[in-house]
Amino acid sequence: MNILIALGYASCWGVGLTLTKVALSGIPATTLLVIQLVASVTFLAVLCWVRDRHLPLSWQDLKQGRAGVFEPALAYMVGIFGVDLTTASNATLIGSSEVILTIVLAALLLGESLTRTKLFLAGTSTLGVALLMLHSPETANQASRLGDLLVLLGTVFAVFYVLLSKRQLTKTHPLQLTTAQQTVGLGVTLACFSALSLIYPSYAINFGGIAPQFWLLAIVSGILQYALAFFLYLTALRHIPASHAAFYVALIPIFGVLSAMLIIGEQPTVFQWVGGGLVIVSSSWVHTLKPSS
């Protein structure tokens, strides 16, 4: 069951990313992120009400959702600016370091075991992601060191979100925790973008002139990429070590490539197929390890 849940959050993130790429052609990045988070919070709130007849929006609930400051808020806000300054391939390769960062920091901060097998599989997974990105048409001279650093910072925020959430899951149900985190993330995102727009008007949130099909894309991608993906991720994280859950995050580019084939007609290269195979093998191998391994 755990592997099905893990495949679920990886597929939601991968397909959601493809839909986000399409939606960005009709909606500015800052506005899109806000629409996605509003859709996610609304969807999760409905699920909470149906399940418990309770909305986890009290002050105590929101305090438990403080990890939402790290992700989706800071990780995605910093990531947006980073991706804007660097190449897509650089951003994805740097983002793949989340696997290694998670297993190392989980060992240091959560006491999870750090074995040679995990390090080997992390390296294999990272190599696979690198091969998946070899098709990128961007040239190296488009990359910016500042952009790379921002993407790396966003990845670090994502890792701290995982570690903080792992500790909280012993006392809080994943659905309630996800809803509280997404609500906090939405609030922080709105505050930061509003302040930033005073300095850079191009980052102002503007809902005017968005075509109906792009509204639909934004809402669906928000539910997939934020509500369902984070809920399934926290559900898996409740039962498996953070270092194990991280390996399935590396499957996201595979689902992204496959969904891009079906939705926008992109064709993967031989290198991408090989890279996808390496990621699948490393993630499958992790599933055979004992939780303490």
Averaged pLDDT, 189-207: 88
| Residue 87's pLDDT band (cuts 50, 70, 90) | low
270-288 in b/e burial notation, b at 16+ Cβ within 10 A? eebeebbebbeebbebbee
Inform me whether the pLDDT recorded for 232 exceeds 50: yes
Inform me whether the pLDDT recorded for 142 exceeds 60: no
From residue 231, alpha-carbon distances to 98, 181, 292 in Å are: 19, 10, 24
Q: What percent of the chain has pLDDT over 70?
A: 78
Scanning the structure block, which residue is given the tokens 């986000």?
Answer: 20
Distance of alpha carbon 239 from alpha carbon 7, whole angstroms: 15
Inform me whether the pLDDT recorded for 81 exceeds 80: no
Q: What pLDDT score does 51 carry?
A: 92
Give residues with Cβ within 8 angstroms of 223, minimum separation 6: 39, 40, 43
Lowest-pLDDT range of 214-218, 227-231, 246-250: 246-250
Q: What pLDDT score does 86 carry?
A: 65
Are 286 and 278 in contact by the 8 Å Cβ rule? The answer is no
Nearest to 192, CA basis, from 21, 69, 42, 38: 69
Q: What is the pLDDT of residues 37-62, one digit of tens each?
A: 999 999 999 999 999 888 888 988 89
Mean pLDDT, the chain, rounded, equals 81
Averaged pLDDT, 234-240: 89
Domain definitions of the chain by residue range: 2-288
Q: What is the pLDDT of residues 62-79, one digit of tens each?
A: 998 999 999 999 998 887
Q: What pLDDT score does 89 carry?
A: 53
Q: What pLDDT score does 110 carry?
A: 81
Are 234 and 56 in contact by the 8 Å Cβ rule? The answer is no
End-to-end CA distance of the chain: 19
Q: What is the pLDDT of residues 5-19, one digit of tens each?
A: 888 888 888 888 888
Q: What is the pLDDT of residues 148-158, one digit of tens each?
A: 788 789 888 99
| Residue 190's pLDDT band (cuts 50, 70, 90) | very high
Averaged pLDDT, 99-110: 80
Which amino acid is located at 12 in the chain? C
| Residue 140's pLDDT band (cuts 50, 70, 90) | very low
Pick the more confident residue, 9 or 232.
Answer: 232
